[in-house]
Amino acid sequence: QITAIRNFINQGVDYIVLAPKVEEGWDTVLGEAKAAGIPVIIVDRMIEVADTGLFTCWIGSDFRREGETAVAWLEQRLQGASARIVHLQGSIGSSAQIGRTDALDAGLERHPEWTMVFRGTGDFIQAKGQELIRSLLDEQVFFDVIYSENDNMAYGAIDALQAAGLEPGKDVTLISFDASSTALRRMLSGEISLDVECNPLHGPRVRAIIEQLSRGETPPKYTYVEETSFDADTLTEQVIGSRGY
């Protein structure tokens, strides 16, 4: 991504829109963009820089709030009962991973009856999520909740559970994030218990920001997109069909 940004700077583009893979390591290249007078709009994940003046604005998800939504749902579902949780983390250092992990950690601190039996990164990749769950099942590690930090890893977890003769959503509560239409249809079949939305429709908002900048206006520095969550007990085909993704 840094190489791509430098190429854009050399091309003299009018704007740079960056969806960062990780939070850190952007200071130097964004400094180069600023020196070239090119506004940088950050979308989706947040970045950590010493000087926030290095980027024009950010628009994206409140990943900590997403995690808190999932944890609150699990609290309501368990009603004080114990749980043995497997945590499939996304790419370490990404905003999504950090926010969703922090929320679960806070939940674990509040609930001594919850036990983390495994935590590992699947890098948001289906095959890695599948391998992690398969290994746990092979080692006969007992768990009844999977907290998967995205839908792709959840798909892998479903594959591993079903291959072992288990029924996801029934034998194991499966919490996921993203809420793509594919995931929600799998929720209708009972495989996913809760899916917290990560709204990907940033394009129109970015376009509006660029139009503001072109008129000499100053957009808000930080904008959180609206998001919701979906429960297998209440989801309908009509809800899925009404969404744009």
Domain residues of the chain, as ranges? 2-61+199-226, 63-198+233-239
Share of the chain above pLDDT 70, in %: 100
Query: What pLDDT, on the 0 to 100 scale, is given for residue 21?
Result: 86
Report DSSP letters for 84-141, one per residue: EEEEEE-STTSHHHHHHHHHHHHHHHH-TTEEEEEEEE-TT-HHHHHHHHHHHHHTT-
Query: What pLDDT, on the 0 to 100 scale, is given for residue 95?
Result: 87
- Residue 182, helix vs strand vs coil: helix
Query: What pLDDT, on the 0 to 100 scale, is given for residue 22?
Result: 83
Spelled out in words, what is the top-level CATH class assigned to the domain 2-61+199-226?
alpha beta
Query: What pLDDT, on the 0 to 100 scale, is given for residue 101?
Result: 98
Residues 6+ positions from 109 with CB-CB distance below 8 Å: none
Report DSSP letters for 53-98, one per residue: GGSSEEEE--HHHHHHHHHHHHHHHHTT--EEEEEEE-STTSHHHH
Judge contact between 8 and 16, C-beta under 8 A.
Answer: yes
- 56-86 pLDDT, tens per residue? 999 999 999 999 999 999 999 999 999 999 9
Query: What pLDDT, on the 0 to 100 scale, is given for residue 6?
Result: 98
34 has a pLDDT exceeding 90: yes
- 119-146 pLDDT, tens per residue? 999 999 999 999 999 999 999 999 999 9
State the maximum Cα–Cα separation within the chain, in Å, rounded to a whole number.
61
Tokens 């964004």: give the residue.
Answer: 30
Confidence of residue 23 (pLDDT cuts 50, 70, 90): confident
Residues 6+ positions from 69 with CB-CB distance below 8 Å: 196, 229
> pTM to 2 decimals?
0.85
Distances from the Cα of 175 to the Cα of 59, 108, 241, angstroms = 25, 15, 21
180 has a pLDDT exceeding 80: yes
What kind of architecture, by CATH, is found in domain 63-198+233-239? 3-Layer(aba) Sandwich (3.40)
Mean pLDDT estimate for the chain: 96
244 has a pLDDT exceeding 80: no
